[in-house]
């Protein structure tokens, strides 16, 4: 029965994906979520920083097929974070500037987030959650009111967390690293700065939880992965510079 609900496709890197929702569905969800965030969070009134973030994003989006105009909002918050949502939405928290010290490092972050959208990772995540919830509901009904219900549900939840959804999240992150690195290089941003960014991130965050218990790769794993992709990204960067793509976004 679940098989009849799924739509199987491939990500930009050729990885198999299960998507349950249309692009219109995801765009609507992204727009609604972004509107809610803008109501809940404090939007920065710093004109120079807003222009800076918009400038970096514009150069990246120019390399996206059919890129269009993405809405960019800078939130006044100490969070070291950024995100992108379906429907062409980008949010950056001002705390990110404590680790993203240059335009290239900021491009590495925003490029990574845009890559999540281009690879339809939000659709994957929502689809997988929907399928998981269907499975949990079925298990709950089958177990009924028996004495085994609570421990069995706990075991199923643990199995889902570390046995299926967790590796899936890391796979998405690695894919977004690869696509984001290509995107920033094509836009004329130095891909080597992505490694510098994650070294800054590692220095600031200090000790991390064990990689087994995190949906994101450790900083060391991420740096290794980016370094392995650098020859291809460097070629794209040199081609972009030869074409006159030389971003000059300043804070």
Encode pLDDT of 95-144 as tens digits. Answer: 999 999 999 999 999 999 999 999 998 888 877 777 766 655 554 554 45
In a domain, 31, yes or no: yes
Query: H helices then E strands: how many in the chain?
Result: 8, 5
In a domain, 202, yes or no: yes
Q: Quick one: average pLDDT of 41-57?
A: 97
CA 7, chain centre distance (Å):
22
Query: CA–CA separation, 87 vs 23, rounded Å?
Result: 9
113 and 84 Cβ atoms separated by less than 8 Å = yes
Question: What confidence tier does 217 reach under pLDDT thresholds 50, 70, 90?
Answer: low
Question: What confidence tier does 167 reach under pLDDT thresholds 50, 70, 90?
Answer: very low
Tokens of 181: 């690195």
**Cα-Cα end-to-end distance for the chain:** 54
Domain that holds residue 54: 2-242
- pLDDT of 13 reads 77
Catalytic entry in 23, 31, 41, 113: 113
In a domain, 249, yes or no: no
In a domain, 234, yes or no: yes
Strand partners, 208: none
Q: What is the domain count for the chain?
A: 1
What pLDDT digit, counting tens, does each position of 1-11 carry?
344 445 678 78
Listed in sequence order, the DSSP H helices in 2-148 are 23-40, 47-61, 103-118, 121-143
Q: Quick one: average pLDDT of 135-160?
A: 45
Residue 194 pLDDT > 60: yes
Identify whether 41 is a catalytic site residue: no
In a domain, 207, yes or no: yes
In a domain, 16, yes or no: yes
Tokens of 160: 């889902």
Instruction: Give the residue from 32, 173, 184, 34 showing the smallest Cα distance to 116.
Output: 173
In a domain, 248, yes or no: no
In a domain, 166, yes or no: yes
CA 248, chain centre distance (Å):
25
Residue environment code for 144-164, b if the CB has 16+ CB neighbours within 10 A, otherwise e: eeeeeeeeeeeebeeeeeeee
Top-confidence residue, 100 or 173: 100
Query: CA–CA separation, 120 vs 216, rounded Å?
Result: 18
Tell me, yes or no, if the pTM score tops 0.85.
Answer: no
């Amino acid at each position: 029965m679940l098989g009849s609900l799924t739509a199987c496709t491939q990500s930009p890197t050729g990885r198999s994906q299960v998507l349950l929702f249309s692009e219109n569905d995801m765009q609507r969800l992204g727009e609604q979520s972004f509107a809610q965030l803008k109501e809940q969070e404090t939007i920065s009134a710093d004109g120079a920083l807003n222009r800076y973030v918009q400038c970096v994003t514009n150069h990246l989006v120019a390399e996206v097929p059919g890129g269009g105009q993405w809405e960019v909002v800078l939130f006044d918050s100490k969070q070291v974070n950024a995100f992108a949502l379906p429907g062409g939405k980008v949010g950056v928290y001002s705390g990110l500037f404590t680790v993203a010290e240059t335009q290239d490092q900021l491009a590495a972050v925003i490029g990574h987030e845009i890559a999540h959208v281009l690879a339809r990772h939000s659709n994957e995540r929502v689809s997988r959650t929907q399928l998981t919830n269907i499975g949990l509901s079925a298990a709950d009904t089958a177990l009924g009111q028996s004495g085994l219900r609570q421990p069995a549900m706990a075991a199923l939840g643990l199995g889902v967390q570390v046995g299926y959804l967790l590796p899936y999240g890391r796979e998405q992150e690695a894919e977004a690293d690869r696509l984001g690195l290509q995107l920033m290089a094509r836009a004329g941003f130095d891909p080597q700065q992505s490694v510098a960014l994650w070294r800054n991130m590692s220095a600031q965050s200090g000790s991390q939880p064990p990689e087994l218990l995190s949906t994101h790769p450790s900083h060391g794993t991420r740096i290794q992965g980016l370094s392995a992709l650098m020859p291809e990204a460097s070629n794209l960067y040199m081609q972009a510079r030869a074409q006159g793509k030389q971003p000059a976004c300043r804070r």
